[in-house]
């Protein structure tokens, strides 16, 4: 099942990216945070966003698309300026709302809701899709817990020593493991095994660089066991899923 006028959606998203990230200097953002509704840069940025959306449309009509994008963009950015603490969640919510408006305009204009519904039903009932999605779920936190349980006894052996001079980021090791398993699983599905070797080599350089020359042999062995287990889980799961599909 294919969508019509998909190029229009891509152009609108590209226009949004250009206006929000390339043509919006940091001083405009800071001025909006400080002056809020009185910020002239807020309205200038909104005007540029609407102009680019209109150019992305490629025609004089329908004029309501750039108009809706302009008004919604102003409302979203204005609302965000009144939130004092900005973090990753706020960023994703902000961008998600902008993209949701763009997608809604495109769906309404092209009347693609029936196609979207049919595609969603197909994907949720497609065995290949279900296997791949399940695989990605398994290599995240479930695999983290499994690796942690398998290396638990060695972790306890070095726990006291590790905590004495541990200046690592909170939960950094867990999320490094999640990201690396996602990458390894993806490379396995794509048959790019050389990329897995490159990833392992890169991690070895950065992760084991401060543990060389036998400075902390037990900790080095513990990290190496966890890394190899993490890679093995992702590769084996990827190969099993490839076999099933």
> Nearest CA to 189 among 181, 198, 200?
181
Rounded Cα gap, residues 51 and 70, in angstroms: 8
Q: What is the DSSP letter of 169?
A: P
Low-confidence residues of the chain, pLDDT below 50? 1, 162, 164, 214
* Concatenated DSSP letters of 9-40: HHHHHHHHHIIIIISS-HHHHHHHHHHGGG-H
pLDDT at residue 49 in the model: 97
Rounded Cα gap, residues 153 and 174, in angstroms: 17
> DSSP H helical segments within 139-192, as ranges?
141-150, 152-164, 172-190
For the chain, domain boundaries:
6-117, 126-244
H-helix or E-strand containing 226?
A: helix 217-244
Q: Tokens 């499994």 label which residue?
A: 146
pLDDT at residue 232 in the model: 94
pLDDT at residue 153 in the model: 83
pTM of the model: 0.75
Encode pLDDT of 79-122 as tens digits.
Answer: 999 998 888 899 999 999 999 999 999 989 988 767 666 666 66
Crossing angle of helices 40-57 and 26-35, rounded to 10°: 130
Crossing angle of helices 172-190 and 217-244, rounded to 10°: 40
pLDDT at residue 68 in the model: 97
pLDDT at residue 32 in the model: 94
Rounded Cα gap, residues 243 and 245, in angstroms: 6
pLDDT at residue 59 in the model: 84
Q: Tokens 């809604």 label which residue?
A: 104
Rounded Cα gap, residues 39 and 29, in angstroms: 10
């Amino acid at each position: 099942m294919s969508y019509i006028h998909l190029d229009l959606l891509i152009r609108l998203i590209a226009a949004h990216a250009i206006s929000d990230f390339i043509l919006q200097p940091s001083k405009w953002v800071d001025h909006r945070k400080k002056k809020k509704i009185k910020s002239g840069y807020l309205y200038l940025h909104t005007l540029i966003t609407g102009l680019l959306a209109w150019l992305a449309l490629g025609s004089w009509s329908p004029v309501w698309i750039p108009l809706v994008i302009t008004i919604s963009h102003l409302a979203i950015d204005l609302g965000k300026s009144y939130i004092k603490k900005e973090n990753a969640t706020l960023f994703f919510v902000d961008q998600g709302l902008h993209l949701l408006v763009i997608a809604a305009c495109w769906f309404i204009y092209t009347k693609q809701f029936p196609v979207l519904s049919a595609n969603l039903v197909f994907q949720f009932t497609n065995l290949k899709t279900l296997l791949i999605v399940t695989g990605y779920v398994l290599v995240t936190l479930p695999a983290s817990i499994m690796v942690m349980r398998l290396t638990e006894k060695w972790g306890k052996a070095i726990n006291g020593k590790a905590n004495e001079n541990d200046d690592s980021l909170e939960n950094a090791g867990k999320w490094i493991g999640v990201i690396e398993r996602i990458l390894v699983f993806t490379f396995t599905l794509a048959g790019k095994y050389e990329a897995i070797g490159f990833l392992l080599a890169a991690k070895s350089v950065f992760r084991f660089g401060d543990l060389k020359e036998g400075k902390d042999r037990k900790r080095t062995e513990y990290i190496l066991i966890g890394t190899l287990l993490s890679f093995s889980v992702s590769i084996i799961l990827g190969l099993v899923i490839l076999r099933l599909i």
